[in-house]
Amino acid sequence: MKVLLATACGGKKNIGKRRALDLYKSSRIKAVYNRRNGADFAVLSAKHGLIYPDTLIKEYEKILDSKTAKKLLPKVVEFIKNYDFVVFFKGGSREEYRNLIKQASKELNKPIILIGNRNQEDIGKLEELLLKCTKGDLVGIENIAPSVEIYNIP
């Protein structure tokens, strides 16, 4: 199974044009990236939509709102269409980011699993979750962590 692991962008950024992974100062982004366990990884940017960690981008100031989310929705749908599962680490993200990724998954009827609480305590469960998704083994997936939310899974 082809799995995409994603998380929201961070508000604090380094200056200049950099790889997305290096642009954002967020420790959450790097921690999620380091636990990708073979899954593809992307950052959900308020300006660019979903972007791979090696994508070169320049710093920007933008917070995702409902109007911008509506504009980014087609790009996000296009990005996730070739994945079997989307796992979104929601810890610390704003509701607009979670709603955008859920809406994109809903449009494609693509299975999506959200994990992560405000304090990111469930980050250690990512590798187990990704392994189960890669194997297509969804039995008991809702019990991996208290923060797990599952959508569009038959």
CA dist list (Å): 77 to 5, 74, 81, 106: 15, 5, 6, 9
Count Cβ atoms within 10 A of the Cβ of residue 138 and give its class: 0-12 exposed, 13-18 middle, 19 or more buried: middle
Residue 143 placed within a domain? yes
Could you tell me if residue 126 is inside a domain?
Answer: yes
- Write out the two tokens for 76: 């996000």
For 5-30, the pLDDT digits (tens) are: 999 999 899 999 999 999 999 999 99
> For 56-109, what is each residue's pLDDT tens digit?
999 999 989 999 999 999 999 999 999 999 999 998 889 999 999 999 999 999
CATH number for the domain that contains residue 91: 3.40.50
- Determine, yes or no, domain membership for 82: yes
| Number of domains observed in the structure of the chain | 1
Residue 74 lies in a domain: yes
**Which residue from 146, 145, 136 is spatially nearest to 3, judged by alpha carbons?**
136
Specify if 23 maps to a domain. Answer: no
Q: Is residue 44 part of a domain?
A: yes
pTM over 0.85: yes
Domain ranges, residue 93: 3-10+32-50+61-151
Burial environment of residue 113 by CB neighbours within 10 A (0 to 12, 13 to 18, 19 or more): buried
